[in-house]
């Protein structure tokens, strides 16, 4: 496989996301597959952030440590990231932002000093177009000509008018020419033969797209990193899909608004992170008791408390599974990549409506903010199952919202759709929905609701496998570690170790198929992004089982193949 | 309860003589008077003695959590604007833990009616001080008497330019029914704070206390309910004379109107148009 890793480092507000976005679009247009992840601080200006793009000639699912092209918009990129550059890698830096020491460091490598902003100004353009200079400079290492880059700039700046488009194209050409002049012809990363149409999206794009495909009609949310992208996406695109997105005064209001909308019969959701999810848990219990479908995206970030707001962790698993006070049916899904995020999000609405319960979709900052090349989503694969719903006529005037049924699912009537009245309550209630105190009804109602949990479990999504079936080593994970595990498995297999990856798209209830896998003779390792081993605990308590070892990360950074393989016991990799 | 007229349930969990009886009867009367059918009405309530009201009158019910009445009602109204949405809560419920929702519901001006059973105590938890309790009132949680300034819902609502601000009295069902009708007919968020004697836990603000003090602002000549300053001044009148009636009423854009381009018909009656999703997906397509 041919790979090229580009890392753009700089301060918040300097435009590294612009450069990164220009490059990833142009590179996709040119045919490459890519994976791009972002690392940023909880601030709007200053600090040190990076945007890292991995280009490849086939689909890639994770990131790599070694950098081929480093673009330095600030001094910290040189002082902190230089050692990641491979021998022979290229460093493109802005000499105007470097102190003498950093300048000396930068000059030692295979490097080019390009004063991005100054070059833009010398060409009669505003400083901000220094970003396009940088993009053009990197592009010289990727492509023979500027066609795709110019097209991308035209597309991205079309709403700003032709002068801005031409200005960006002009300065990008200058950056391109300068690098070409200084470095001459260099080998370029190979491209796939027939890449075909693709999308390049983040988890925070795929999740709301999945919701739109599922026919979500109402969303309410309160901004919180890293979930805000979901909310902004729906705000931007939802109106066309005749969808209401109301920004709430707090997360409590957000989920309760969505529950109110859902009660009337529309698909409704909210999205949040960390403390916002904590505020929503009271209402999740209401949805459980009143049997109102609701889908909540929790884009995890490291806790406890405010933790590391802009970074990644899988530390809310236990909390999402426990979800709230009291016993009620629920499901927790954990998409592992952009494509899965789209289809699982749509599936979440089906689950929520078929079983009339809350469903939590666990994302995290790494999935939320990382771009991946994916095949176009297939809407015909998105089946909409609204569960048991009766018309006004079928319901009749004596409709019972919580009618006792064999499977515990009482058909829904949407209020106002018939003569029957729809009485829903979070207080314990009878079949009518009216409040009760008696023990017998309480017990029956509890058993009715919990009967649904059994069905949810029977229909749980099975593990997604990769690698060797006759594995001697198994890596088990959930959520955004999927790509890292898949690539670790590849790495191990290429070293002659028969490895298999097990990704769990549904973490609660766990699928029964997992038990079969756990009985395989392979040595099993749980890979997860939290301190206490929350997945391990979940699996252990469900199947009375213990792994052979665990690999955990809780420094706020995403895993990749190297991280996992480096942490396997010595005997595994070298034995 | 069948769909013919608004029947009020005789069996309730309220104390004999509770002010809530006056409210539920007035509500039924108001809804009947407007020619509505129970299946066209949705009551949204939280937890507390007031929160039980929807179970004692015919209609659709969404009985949610303590203090979460307003956001839930807002979501329901946005999703199905055909429903007449009546949010019901208490002063403990709505002005304490639900205070933030109250402020923002006013800002949104969502087209719902909000009836607050204002008995100036937490009734269901046995009489603790509420944000509405008078200073000096001794309760289980304030053995030395209430020391905080009472919350003034009307002044707060008027300050935030709520589009309909009224007070009524559970002891005057005619007045209350009339006020509820005006609130339902009002386009926008309509607050009715209802003076509701708690016969068990509030020995100060009793039927007799209010009977001696309330007077009807609606009957007062020259009172201009669009005059915000005048309304605000009246909202502070709480002593020998306590005004009831519509303090303030104006027209301003409602939340539903903000979404008018989407709400050509109620959300719940709109089919998913997959072609729009295709179109959005196409915009992300490369190559």
Q: What is the DSSP string of A402-440?
A: T---TTSPPPB--TTSSSS--EEESS-B-TTS-B---HH
A249 neighbourhood in chain B, CB within 8 Å: 71, 100-101, 103-104
Decide: residue A383, CB within 10 A, 0-12 exposed, 13-18 middle, 19+ buried.
Answer: exposed
Query: Closest Cα partner for A495 from A517, A520, A467, A515?
Result: A467
Residue ranges per structural domain of chain A: 3-183, 200-381, 392-458, 464-574
CB proximity list for A173: less than 8 A, separation 6 or greater: A136, A146, A150
For residue A333, CA distances in Å to A305, A341, B86 come to 23, 10, 36
Per-residue pLDDT at A573: 60
Residue A241: is its pLDDT beyond 70?
Answer: yes
SS3 content of chain B, % helix, strand, coil (to 5): 35, 20, 45
Q: Indicate the CATH number for domain A464-574.
A: 3.40.50.920
Q: What is the pLDDT of residue A290?
A: 98
The ranges assigned to domains in chain B are: 19-283
- CA B271 to chain A, closest CA, distance in angstroms equals 8
B104 in A contact zone (CB under 8 Å): yes
Q: Is B148 on the interface with A (CB under 8 A)?
A: no
Determine the pLDDT at residue B272: 84
Residue A224 has pLDDT above 70, yes or no: yes
pLDDT, tens only, A355-393: 999 999 999 999 999 999 999 999 999 999 999 999 999
What's the rounded mean pLDDT across residues A567-571? Answer: 86
pLDDT at B2: 44
pLDDT score, position B4: 59
Which stretches in chain B have pLDDT values below 70?
1-4
Other Cβ atoms within 10 Å of A354 Cβ, number: 18
- At residue B117, the 3 state secondary structure works out as strand
What residue of A is the nearest CA neighbor of B276? Answer: A241
Q: Give a three-class secondary structure readout of B170-188.
A: CCCHHHHHHHHHHHHHCCC
Mark yes or no for CB contact A268/B74 under 8 Å.
no
Positive or negative: CA dihedral A554, A555, A558, A563: negative
Average pLDDT, stretch A151-156?
96
Quote the Cα angle for A139-A143-A149, to 5°: 55
- pLDDT by residue (tens digit) across B148-189? 999 999 999 999 999 999 999 999 999 999 999 999 999 999
CB contact under 8 A, B63 and A425: yes
For residue B114, which of B79, B56, B67 has the smallest C-alpha distance?
B67
CB pairs under 8 A between A and B: 215
Which of A243, A256, A286, A395 is most worth mutating to test chain B (most B CB atoms within 10 A of its CB)? A256
The reply to whether the predicted model has a pTM over 0.95 is yes
Task: Quote the pLDDT of residue A299.
Answer: 98
The DSSP secondary structure of A499-568, one letter per residue, reads EEEEEESEEESPPTHHHHHHTSSSEEEEEESSSS-HHHHHHHHHHT---SEEEE--SS----HHHHHHHS
Q: Does B287 touch chain A (CB under 8 A)?
A: yes
Residue B106 in contact with residue B189, Cβ under 8 Å?
yes
Whether residue A421 and residue B62 make contact (CB cut-off 8 A), yes or no, is: no
Q: A17 by DSSP, 3-state: which?
A: helix
Confidence of residue A189 (pLDDT cuts 50, 70, 90): confident
CATH number of A3-183: 3.40.920.10
Query: Does residue A181 have a cis bond before it (omega within 30 degrees)?
Result: no
User: What is the ipTM score, two decimals?
Assistant: 0.97
Beta bridge partners of A358: A294
Which CATH architecture does the domain made up of B19-283 adopt?
A: 3-Layer(aba) Sandwich (3.40)
Q: Evaluate whether A3-183 and A200-381 have a shared fold.
A: no
Closest partner residue to B280 (CB to CB) among A195, A240, A416 is A240
Q: Say whether A414 and B268 touch across the interface (CB within 8 A).
A: yes
B16 at the A interface (CB within 8 A)?
A: no
Tell me how crowded residue A420 is: count the other CB atoms within 10 A of its CB: 23
**B277 contact A CB<8A:** yes
User: CB–CB of B44 and A260 under 8 A?
Assistant: yes
DSSP A171-218: HHHHHHHHHHHHH-S-------S---SEEEEEHHHHHHHHHHHTT--E
Contacts of B281 in chain A (CB under 8 A): 199, 209, 376-377, 379
Residue range A289-298: mean pLDDT, rounded? 98
Cα dist from A332 to A117, A298, A533, B274, whole Å: 47, 10, 17, 26
| pLDDT at residue A188, rounded to an integer | 85
Cis upstream peptide for A304 (omega within 30°): yes
Right CATH for A200-381 from 3.10.180.10, 3.40.50.970, 3.40.50.12160, 3.10.105.10: 3.40.50.970
- What integer is the mean pLDDT of A503-516? 97
Contact criterion met (CB below 8 Å) for A141 and A67 = no
Whether residue B55 contacts residue A435, with contact meaning beta carbons closer than 8 Å, is answered with yes
Q: State the pLDDT confidence band at A152, using cuts at 50, 70 and 90.
A: very high
- The DSSP symbol for B142 reads B
Distances in whole angstroms, Cα of residue A238 to Cα of each of A385, B26, B61, B140, B243 = 21, 41, 29, 50, 46
- The whole-number pLDDT of residue A110 equals 83
């Amino acid at each position: 496989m041919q790979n090229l890793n580009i890392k753009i480092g700089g301060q918040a507000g300097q435009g590294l996301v612009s450069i990164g976005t220009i490059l990833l679009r142009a590179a996709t247009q040119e045919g490459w597959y890519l994976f791009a992840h972002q690392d940023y601080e909880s601030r709007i200006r200053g600090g040190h952030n990076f945007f890292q793009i991995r280009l490849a000639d086939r689909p890639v699912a994770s990131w790599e440590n070694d950098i081929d092209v480093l673009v330095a918009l600030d001094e910290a990129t040189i002082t902190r990231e230089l050692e990641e550059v491979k021998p022979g890698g290229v460093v493109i830096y802005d000499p105007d932002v470097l102190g003498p020491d950093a300048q000396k460091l930068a000059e030692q490598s295979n490097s080019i000093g390009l004063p991005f902003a100054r070059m833009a100004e010398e060409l009669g353009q505003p400083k901000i177009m220094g970003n396009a200079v940088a993009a053009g400079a990197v592009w010289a290492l990727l492509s023979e000509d500027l066609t795709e880059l110019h097209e991308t700039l035209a597309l991205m700046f079309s709403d700003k008018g032709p002068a801005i488009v031409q200005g960006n194209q002009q300065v990008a050409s200058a950056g391109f020419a300068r690098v070409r002049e200084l470095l001459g012809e260099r080998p370029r990363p190979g491209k796939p033969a027939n890449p075909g149409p693709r999308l390049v999206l983040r988890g925070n794009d795929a999740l709301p797209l999945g919701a739109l495909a599922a026919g979500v009609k109402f969303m309410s949310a309160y901004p919180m990193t890293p979930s805000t992208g979901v909310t902004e996406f729906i705000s931007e695109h939802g109106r066309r899909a005749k969808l209401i997105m109301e920004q709430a005064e707090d997360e409590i209001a957000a989920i309760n608004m969505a529950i109110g909308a859902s009660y009337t019969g529309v698909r409704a959701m909210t999205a949040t992170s960390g403390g916002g999810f904590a505020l929503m848990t009271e209402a999740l219990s209401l949805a459980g008791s009143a049997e109102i479908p609701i889908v909540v995206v929790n884009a995890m970030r490291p806790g406890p408390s405010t933790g590391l707001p802009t970074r990644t962790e899988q530390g809310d698993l236990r909390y999402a599974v426990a979800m709230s006070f009291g016993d009620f049916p629920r499901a927790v899904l954990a998409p592992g990549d952009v494509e899965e995020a789209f289809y699982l999000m749509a599936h979440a609405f089906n689950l929520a409506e078929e079983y009339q319960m809350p469903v939590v979709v666990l994302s995290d900052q790494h999935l939320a903010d990382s771009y991946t090349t994916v095949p176009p989503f297939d809407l015909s694969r998105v089946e909409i199952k609204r569960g048991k719903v009766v018309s006004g006529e079928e319901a009749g005037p004596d409709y019972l919202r919580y009618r006792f049924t064999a499977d515990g699912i009482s058909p829904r009537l949407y209020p106002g759709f018939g003569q029957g009245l729809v009485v829903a309550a979070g207080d314990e209630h009878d079949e009518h929905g009216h409040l009760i105190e008696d023990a017998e009804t309480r017990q029956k109602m509890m058993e009715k609701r919990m009967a649904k949990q059994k069905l949810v479990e029977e229909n749980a999504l099975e593990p997604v496998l990769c690698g060797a079936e006759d594995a001697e080593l198994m890596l088990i994970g959930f959520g955004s570690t999927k790509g890292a595990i898949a690539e670790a498995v590849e790495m191990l297999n290429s070293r002659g170790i028969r490895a298999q990856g097990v990704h769990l798209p549904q973490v609660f209830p766990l699928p029964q198929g997992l038990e079969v896998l756990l009985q395989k003779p392979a040595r099993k390792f749980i890979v997860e992004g939290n301190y206490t081993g929350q997945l391990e605990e979940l699996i252990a308590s469900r199947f009375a089982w213990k792994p052979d070892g665990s690999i955990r990360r809780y420094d706020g950074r995403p895993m990749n193949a190297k991280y996992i393989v480096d942490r396997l016991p010595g005997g595994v990799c070298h034995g | 309860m069948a769909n013919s007229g608004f029947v009020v349930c005789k069996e309730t969990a309220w104390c004999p003589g509770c002010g809530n009886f006056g409210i539920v009867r007035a509500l039924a009367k108001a809804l009947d008077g407007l020619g509505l059918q129970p299946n066209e009405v949705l009551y949204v309530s939280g937890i507390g003695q007031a929160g039980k009201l929807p179970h004692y009158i015919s209609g659709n019910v969404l009985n949610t959590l303590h203090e979460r009445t307003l956001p839930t009602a807002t979501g329901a109204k946005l999703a199905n604007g055909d429903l007449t949405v009546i949010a019901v809560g208490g002063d403990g419920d709505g002005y304490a833990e639900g205070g933030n929702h109250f402020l923002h519901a006013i800002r949104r001006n969502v087209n719902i009616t909000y009836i607050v059973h204002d008995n100036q105590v937490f009734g269901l938890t046995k009489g603790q001080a509420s944000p509405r309790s008078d200073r000096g009132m001794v309760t289980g949680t304030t053995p030395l008497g209430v020391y905080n300034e009472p919350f003034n819902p009307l002044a707060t609502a008027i300050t935030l330019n709520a589009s309909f601000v009224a007070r009524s009295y559970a002891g005057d069902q005619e007045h209350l029914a009339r006020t509820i009708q005006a609130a339902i007919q009002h386009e926008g968020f309509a607050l009715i704070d209802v003076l509701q004697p708690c016969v068990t836990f509030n020995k100060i603000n009793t039927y007799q206390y209010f009977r001696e003090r309330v007077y009807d602002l609606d009957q007062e000549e020259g009172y201009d309910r669009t005059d915000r300053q005048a309304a605000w001044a009246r909202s502070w009148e709480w002593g020998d004379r306590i005004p009831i009636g519509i303090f303030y009423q104006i027209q301003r854009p409602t939340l539903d109107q903000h979404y008018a381009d989407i709400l050509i018909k109620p959300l719940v009656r709109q089919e998913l148009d997959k072609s729009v999703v295709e179109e959005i997906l196409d915009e992300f397509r490369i190559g």
